[in-house]
Structure 1
């Protein structure tokens, strides 16, 4: 085969790659969320799967890992979410509004001025009704989406299983298929691992701790619907610039309004020092293994990821931006080594 024939074959193969790669992307995109969820979960439990696979074999080890994950993680998580949804519905439908006259008296005593709360709360009644309708519409949408959920669950489980069983083979294939030098490919894989650890494991540890601390504070103060508040605090703690303070600060305001000023002061101090302050101590420990993401990239990656990928974008967005920066850094290193730039 001549050099021209080789060039022609390579060009045609690249054209086929573009065509079939595009078609494959179109096929996968509708199920991108369950595929992504399966990949993230496989990454998290990979250390357990590796130990089991060495003793039981790749197939049995993957099946046992899935069984353990379902029993220890997924089932309790679904039960907690079910309780949180039930408490949210109960909270939305049965929440008691404090007596306005007593609230007005408390506000007047604190501020030393008159306060007509009835007039202030009138616009909120329409907003509350709209919000309740939105919740009911969301419940109806969830019920209508049950068939799609079943399909997504099947794809999630298959993705989870095959990445556990054949994950090492997939990484080895990437090393072979990627047109990169082995040391460059190893560096890229290592940086991807660090980014995933920082975005997934590190942030989840910090958010989980803040949720637990918030719930403990609410237990002492006698708040109800603790599972709901714990889940909401956990999710919001994953977001930069928001965190658990968006939960405990309104709780402080509520305690002031109902006249329980000592409890409000206690929660205020506890919130600043313990709940929000824990971030400064725990995050550096949790991020020791992971990559240190630039704060600007982190914020943009999280909110952009949520806008594009939904909830999973909390973790994937920063990884994508971090990988983009890593690729640029590697290109600069390669060009610097080759003497093109210094």
Structure 2
């Protein structure tokens, strides 16, 4: 084959790659969240799978690891989320509505006798609520479609988890041979990806879990109810930069002051400041020793941007994507500075 034929063949292969690669992306996009979730969970439990594979084989080790993961992690997590949702509903039902007469009096005092009252405002609101409820109840087809989508997503999640556990090594080996990069650059990318995944998945989860447990213990001593809800809320907020557990315990301190429980409020303020929030300064550097090494502003953007694009799973995917982008730019800068390394 002469050089012209080789160039033509390569160009045609690239065209086919663009065509079929684009189609593949469109095929995966509707199920991106369960695929990403399965991949992250496979990364989390892969060390267990590595220990089981020599004894049970690749398929047996992956099956046992997947069943153990569902039993130990997924099922308890679903129960916890269900209990948290139930407790959240209890909190909403127990919330006291303001005195409508007092609200009307305040409104008229501030805005005059022509100010709208709670009764006049309740009519349009009630109609809007009834219309919304009617739409939700009437859309049986949408509900069934949602159930079907959930089942399909669950199947894809389990499929991804199992095959990444079983064939993850083969997939990584294929990537190493397929990417048109030298060995040093490929190793640097894989090492950086591993560090970013560790920081985003394991490091952040450890920090959030510790802060959630500490918050629940503090609330338990004070005598708060619905502890599962507060624990889940603290865990989720602790995954977010800047926000953290303080968004939960500081309002609790304010509430205790308003109800006259001053000693409890002072105790929670000290405990929250030094133990709950202070633990972040101790645990995060240890848990994220192999950290993302991203600027704080970029880290915040990557997390919230990831949530906006990928949903909840973007909490973990966002920093990985931004971190890899930064790494690729640095590798390109190195190659520009030292062309002989390419």
**Which interval holds the TM-score relative to the shorter structure?**
0.7 to 0.9
Match of residue 231 from structure 1: 232
Distance 1:202 1:38, change over 3 A: same
Distance 1:282 1:35, change over 3 A: same
Match of residue 23 from structure 2: 23
**Per-residue deviation, 1:200:** 1.1
Determine helix, strand or coil for the equivalent of 2:243. coil
- The equivalences for 1:1-342 within 5 A come to 1-96=1-96, 145-338=146-339
Deviations 1:83-118 (A, max 9, x none): 111111111112347999xxxxxxxxxxxxxxx89x
Q: How many angstroms apart in 1 are the aligned matches of 2:324 and 2:133?
A: 40
Conserved? CA contact 1:211–1:233, under 8 Å? yes
What are the ranges of 5 or more consecutive residues in structure 1 without an aligned counterpart?
Answer: 101-115
Q: How many angstroms apart in 2 are the aligned matches of 1:245 and 1:44?
A: 28
**Per-residue deviation, 1:292:** 2.2
Determine helix, strand or coil for the equivalent of 2:338. helix
Conserved? CA contact 1:198–1:292, under 8 Å? no
Conserved? CA contact 1:53–1:60, under 8 Å? yes
Q: How many angstroms apart in 1 are the aligned matches of 2:199 and 2:169?
A: 21
**Per-residue deviation, 1:287:** 1.1
Deviations 1:143-184 (A, max 9, x none): 552211000000000011111111010001101110000111
Conserved? CA contact 1:233–1:244, under 8 Å? yes
Deviations 1:194-216 (A, max 9, x none): 01111111111001111001100
* TM-score scaled by length of structure 1: 0.87
Conserved? CA contact 1:191–1:323, under 8 Å? yes
* TM-score scaled by length of structure 2: 0.87
**Per-residue deviation, 1:338:** 1.8
Conserved? CA contact 2:292–2:319, under 8 Å? no
Conserved? CA contact 2:241–2:300, under 8 Å? yes
Q: How many angstroms apart in 1 are the aligned matches of 2:97 and 2:298?
A: 41
Q: How many angstroms apart in 1 are the aligned matches of 2:147 and 2:169?
A: 34
Conserved? CA contact 1:184–1:330, under 8 Å? yes
**Per-residue deviation, 1:312:** 0.5
Aligned length: 319
What are the ranges of 5 or more consecutive residues in structure 2 without an aligned counterpart?
Answer: 101-105, 111-116
Q: How many angstroms apart in 1 are the aligned matches of 2:133 and 2:207?
A: 32
Conserved? CA contact 1:98–1:258, under 8 Å? no
Deviations 1:68-89 (A, max 9, x none): 1011111111111111111111
Conserved? CA contact 2:253–2:266, under 8 Å? yes
Determine helix, strand or coil for the equivalent of 2:260. coil
Q: How many angstroms apart in 2 are the aligned matches of 1:312 and 1:196?
A: 12
CA RMSD of superposed structures (Å): 2.8
